[in-house]
Amino acid sequence: MGDILRREERTALRLRGLYAAMGYRPYKMGKFEEYDFYAANKRFLQSGGVLTFTDTTGRLMALKPDVTLSIARGAAAGEGTLKVYYDESVYRAPDPQAGFQEITQAGLECIGAVDAYAMGEVLYLAAESLRAISPVFALDVSDMGYVQSLLPELGLAGEGASAALRSLGARNVPELRALLDASGAPAGPADNLCRLAAAYAPLSELLPQLSSAAVNGGMRAACASLEGVAQALRGFGCLDDVRLDLSITADMEYYNGLVFKGYVQGAPGAVLSGGRYDALMRKLGRPAGAIGFAVYLNMLEHLDGGDDAEDVDVQLLCDGTEDPCELAARVRELRGAGRSVRVCRRAGGGEGAERDA
Amino acid sequence: MLDIALPKGRLGERAHAILAAAGRGCPEILEPGRRLVFENAAAGVRFFWVKPSDVPIYVERGAADLGIAGKDILLEHSPDVYELLDLGIGRCSMCVAAPKGFRDSGERTLRVATKFPNIARRHYAGRGRPIDIIKLNGSIELAPLLGLSDVIVDLVETGSTLRENDLQVLERFLGISARLIANKASCKFKYRDIMALAGDAAGAAEGVCAK
């Protein structure tokens, strides 16, 4: 059956098996939700645009642009720890000029008690998800708590802080340096941030540098959290798969701690994105931990390169004069021998023929 | 092998000169002809010429690992790429210009003609000034002369085109220059190569700009 599945379908199957084996339960999402919910949390979606329509009762509804928001909303009304996985389509416009797209994604969420082990487990599953797609992958982490606690030390707030985050996200160290100089940032923390902004290395290698650059309780707490995650990853045997990259940033209104992105060779951008979003849960009325990630399956479409020239073993080329009984018998014979067959009319006429594709 | 998108024209030639000074050039690229792809296997680089405004698209979508793009294009389109280096070439300013004697009373919506609607919108939004954007693709200077707009937002290098059309700069609000940009995924899998090239180019750019 593997042969007839597209790469993203094969991957989705593997991921479901992977997540279920770690105790995550399937989550079935409805396709519609009230638009007001998304309007109130628009920035969580990162890329704008929601498809809306008026339902039969006059309410403004939306085709779901995101899975995490729906799961978080449900979990906000519940208790205990929820561990779920999904494989769904969502609809949004990541590029406004390209219009709306159907985005297929698989992923998981863990909401409730989120400790170092839980974060490590989610990162381990993220690493295994990437490995299921390609043996050559990169899983990079950062911590929004570390960055969020550092910004006030640098005299950055409001638009200055946003500009610094943009420079950090673009690895634009000269621009970051200029912003820090303009804000009158103290030399020590400013130098450390510029050095760390340019760094890219295994988490275990960079974490001591991150810790030694911590100048307040928030930064030290973020380092301690990352250290706990590293311990869990060591236990899972995948610590070396994870790199630290401070250029990974996310909206601080929703994300408050660990954030991460995954890449596979051949895909032009991140195919996996996730992070800790306790801040969203607080906004939804439940002070709980929350972490999850999504794998963008539609980005895997072009990983295999071009389409195969032939997708069947044998082509039977006909000219329309063949005896249908004989033709059908030949097809049956080939199928009986386990070969795939396509019967098609010879282009431009001519006599019928059989050829191995 | 690193794939590098160069902007067609003088800026691309100057960027190539910097890379050549860094030992990452391809001599064939300077020969006249219509070829678009040039490779120097020994230096580990392959160049291709693309329209300047398309460079970030090639890089963001991974068709190129690296590219040279003006800061104006990066600010206008906000591609999801790394911006590794300011090459210090192609320096100019994003300006507001208007016919000589123009005064913005603030009583009416300001009509702004520009090739850079996003940059112009952000600039005026930051001041709370309501504007009407008129997106044009060239000869922007003509718009206020014919009454199509009150002001223009455009790149100004020497200001000679403005002067010849009786326009004056009201405000220079952004410094622009060419940047070395990189695809984010490429940086994960070719990190050492890309950072080595960026380091070499930084050294060479200082030398070229100092001349």
pLDDT band, residue B210 (cuts 50/70/90): low
Element (H, E) at B188: helix B184-189
The reply to whether A46 touches chain B by the CB within 8 Å rule is no
Q: Please give the single-letter amino acid code of residue B20.
A: A
pLDDT tens-digit readout, A62-78: 888 888 888 998 899 88
Residue matched to tokens 């001349």: B211
Residue A170 touches chain B, beta carbons under 8 Å:
yes
- The mean per-residue pLDDT over the stretch B54-82 comes to 96
Beta-carbon count within 10 A of B39 CB: 16
Measured CA to CA, the distance from residue A275 to residue A108 in angstroms comes to 11
In chain A, the percentage of residues whose pLDDT exceeds 90 is 60
CATH superfamily, with its number, for domain A137-264: Bira Bifunctional Protein; Domain 2 (3.30.930.10)
The whole-number pLDDT of residue B189 equals: 96
For A97, nearest residue in chain B (alpha carbons)? B77
Interchain proximity B183–A175, CB inside 8 Å: no
Which of A174, A265, A269 is closest, CB to CB, to B184?
A269
Confidence label for B139 from pLDDT (cuts 50, 70 and 90): very high
The C-alpha atoms of residue A255 and residue A145 are separated, in whole angstroms, by: 9
Contact predicate A66/A90, CB 8 Å: yes
Contact residues, chain A, for B80 at CB < 8 Å: 269
**Chain A interface includes B114 (CB < 8 A):** no
Q: What is the pLDDT of residues B94-120, one digit of tens each?
A: 999 999 999 888 889 999 999 999 999
Cβ separation A270–B83 shorter than 8 A: no
- Element housing B96 (H / E): strand B92-99
| CA-CA-CA-CA dihedral for A84, A85, A91, A95, to nearest 10 | 110
- Check if the beta carbon of residue A252 is closer than 8 Å to that of residue A275: no
ipTM of the complex: 0.80
Contact B189 A136 (CB under 8 A): yes
Give the other-Cβ count within 10 Å of B10's Cβ. 10
Q: From CA A22, how far away is CA B58, in angstroms rounded?
A: 39
Question: Is A246 at the interface with chain B, CB within 8 A?
Answer: no
The verdict on domain A1-134+267-306 having CATH code 3.30.70.660 is: no
Read off the pLDDT band of B208 (50, 70, 90): low
pLDDT in tens, A80-116: 999 999 999 888 887 777 788 888 999 999 999 999 9
Give the span between the Cα atoms of A82 and A112, in whole angstroms. 6
